[in-house]
Amino acid sequence: MISYILRRMFYAVPILLGVNLLTFLLFFFVNSPDDVAWQICGPRSKTEQREAWKREHGYHLPRIWNDREQGLAQATQTIFFTKSVGLMRFEFGRSDRENVHIGPEIRRRMFPSLAYAIPTFLLALFVEIVIAMLVAYYRGSVFDLAVLLVCVLFMSIAGMFYIIGGQVLFGMWLKLAPISGYAEGLSCWKFLVMPVLIGIISGLGGGIRFTRTVFLEEVGRDYVRTARAKGLSEARVLFVHVLKNAMIPILTSVVFSIPFLFMGSLTTENFFAIPGLGGFTISAIQGQDFAIVRSMVFLGSVLYIVAGVLTDISYVLVDPRVRLEGSGSVLGMLKGFLGILAGGAVLAGLWSLLAEHASRFYKVAEAHWDPDLAQNLFVVLLVLSVAWFLWRALPREPWRTASRQIRANRPALVCLVLLAVYVSIGLIDSVAWKDPMTDAKGGVLHDKEGGVVLQATSRSLLDRAWDFCRGDLKEKSYSAPLADVQFTRNMVQGPDGKSHWEAPPLRRPGAHLLGTDKVGKDVLFVSLKSIRTGLVIGGITTLIAIPFAMLFGILAGYFGGWVDDLIQYVYTTLASIPGILLIVAFVLIFGRGLLQLCIILGITSWTGLCRLTRAETLKLREMDYVKAAEALGSSRLRILFKHVAPNLMHLVLISAVLQFSGLVLAESVLAYVGVGVGAGTSSWGNMINAARLELSREPVILWNLLAAFVFMLGLVLPANLFGDALRDALDPRLRRR
């Protein structure tokens, strides 16, 4: 194990270099130093002023390679090298915008972040384990079902709802806690009570559900049945045997949370005005302060690497079957080191090519392809693929038995029907085409070549069905649900010549079931249009992330050695960089859009499941049935597909459902940060973001927020419940005969 730890620390150097290089590329291949100087000094600044700022902050040098120098100076006299040397010595320098020392600022802001994060983390972990153990003890009872329903309900609500609801209920209405703010010393507790409680409650659903799944998986194993056969009490079986063997996935989640305790929570600290490192980082990203972002990413990477080593050591401590393999020789370590450097060079090269050519390629592709045709073809292929899968899978015994169990489970059937309704609406809204333009007499317009002139925007089947059934429901501004008059009042002049405030009548009085928004759009229609956005973000991103996570996690855990090193390098590098920074850089290159958001979320969201599958594979490869298969001469590919992957499916299924739900809910946070799908695309995140300002009005406008809440809950809650039912139906140890 000592050689393994030394190898991991030895490999920390290229990991930190890779993180630093990727962060550098994210900033300076999207924005040049001249662009940064122009943004910070202001658009009206003179060239001499911008050049002086660049020289003062070290941005006057070339970025990666200096052709004006000779020899080694070509690499050292660059922005990247000069900035990286200081970071390796933990000298963070000064910020680009405020010109303040970053090191003292980090030390000052560290304590507010820890004051919020440590109580939230410890209390949530304690509650999760205790409740999950009780659920495993009383599994199958009313208590188990009630806890599961409450957990699924909690995790089906976006974190933004908890924050906004807590501030409105406990801060504005009940006056039990300050809405936001912070105080130094012990008096800070009154500002932290509400953020800590919201942090615990909002994370309990997913935490308890994941831990419950891990415990129930262990309860069905042979050693538990043996312990029960020996007469051990159920409490002893759970707390002595099950808890110990379930610690690997739990420790993976716990230890890898350590860096985020220090780094703070981006959204929570922003909403509650806690002067911590999370708000510090997100303000730097939004303000394009590369010095602060570089320092925070480097610091987070160091903590992430240390957490990874501690996690692997903890595996050995809780499960002696897990072996951490060292390289065995200095030559082996050197080969692994060079392999990781090569991997880092490949990542850097790919990103530089992406940053240099992707935007131009995307514009050319966008100009020469028909997005409506591509989208319609994708919908047809998706429907045919699902139909083919069901046609092939349902006749087989496991799926046939699972379908019978699902049909016997009425709550699962109700959830399936609700999901089918959502999916149907999403598919109907995905089939779109452009209508031809017509003249005043209704004739179709043609261009000079005789082609039909199409309208600028396409309309989906949902748009056409809505217009056919309801007509044009556009109003001027806000109106309450089923109201006859506009919510806002206008100054009008009466017959007597006196002016007074009056709410004008609506064009379609009583026709708006959920009211209208600020620009007069029907809230029900906007909510229905947002279904497609939620399904695409949750579904497409999950389909991108799951295969990568399973493939790399299984390969890293089973083969170990340089394969493990290289895969750990990739996901450690990606996971060390704040996801919001990757999303912002990707959006700056490709622009804001639904497809772009799905791609970058898929790239950034596979690392967590990859760590879990790697950790579980480390344990599975030491199991007797795997060793027996190896002794019988089974190929490694057969072992991975027949023996390792099937025993990971409980983690994959629950992670896929959690990921789908989390991505649907995360869109609201992205909309708040300003890197969501864009204002022109209907989404629940945009509705929630707009509703934040509406809550400060007098009287308060609630229907926009409540509509987004209900529709989002209507998708995520059935998805979670049906995912649980499907997982239980496919698990032979939990299947009812």
**CA angle 630–633–637, rounded 5-degree value:** 70
The enclosing H or E element of 657 equals: helix 649-673
Which pLDDT score is estimated for 262? Answer: 59
In 295-428, the DSSP E strands lie at none
Which pLDDT score is estimated for 737? Answer: 42
Domains of the chain in start order, with CATH, are 110-292+300-308 (1.10.3720.10)
399 by Cβ neighbours in 10 Å (0-12 / 13-18 / 19+) ranks as: middle
Task: Name the residue type at position 681.
Answer: T
Which pLDDT score is estimated for 244? Answer: 79
Which pLDDT score is estimated for 736? Answer: 47
Which pLDDT score is estimated for 589? Answer: 66
Phi-psi region of 185 (alpha: psi -120 to 50; beta: other; left: phi over 0): left
DSSP assignment of 234-279: HHHIIIIIIHHHTHHHHHHHHHTTHHHHHH--HHHHHHTT--SHHH
Q: What is the DSSP letter of 540?
A: H
Distance CA 264, CA 275 (A): 10
pTM, two decimals, is: 0.80
Which pLDDT score is estimated for 205? Answer: 83
Range 494-524 burial, b when 16+ CB lie within 10 A, else e: eeeeeeeeeeeebebeebbebbbbeebbbbb
3-state SS of the chain: helix, strand, coil percent to 5?
70, 5, 25
Distance CA 224, CA 229 (A): 9
Rg of the chain's alpha carbons, rounded to an integer? 28
Contact 256, 307 (CB under 8 A): yes
β-sheet bridge partners, residue 505: 485
Distance CA 326, CA 573 (A): 21
Contact 573, 347 (CB under 8 A): yes
Structure tokens at 664: 């649907």
Best CA proximity match to 193, nearest among 214, 208, 176, 209:
176
Structure tokens at 478: 């806000």
CA distance readout (Å), 493 to 477, 497, 501 = 20, 6, 9
Sign of CA pseudo-dihedral 115, 119, 121, 124? negative
Pairing mode, strands 432-433 and 459-460: antiparallel
Structure tokens at 512: 């708006």
Q: How far apart are the first and last CA of the chain?
A: 46
Distance CA 330, CA 285 (A): 41
Which pLDDT score is estimated for 531? Answer: 93
Q: At 232, phi and psi to the nearest 5? A: -70, 145
Which pLDDT score is estimated for 735? Answer: 53
Distance CA 669, CA 578 (A): 14
Best CA proximity match to 620, nearest among 647, 641, 593, 654:
647
Q: Using DSSP, state whether 76 is helix, strand or coil.
A: helix
Q: Split the chain (737 residues) into runs of 10 and give each run's mean pLDDT.
A: 72 77 74 83 87 88 85 86 84 88 91 90 89 82 84 82 85 85 87 91 83 80 85 83 79 69 70 86 79 84 79 72 54 52 57 53 55 82 86 78 84 90 92 82 75 80 86 81 84 73 84 87 91 90 88 88 80 75 71 80 84 84 85 86 80 80 83 76 86 74 88 89 78 53
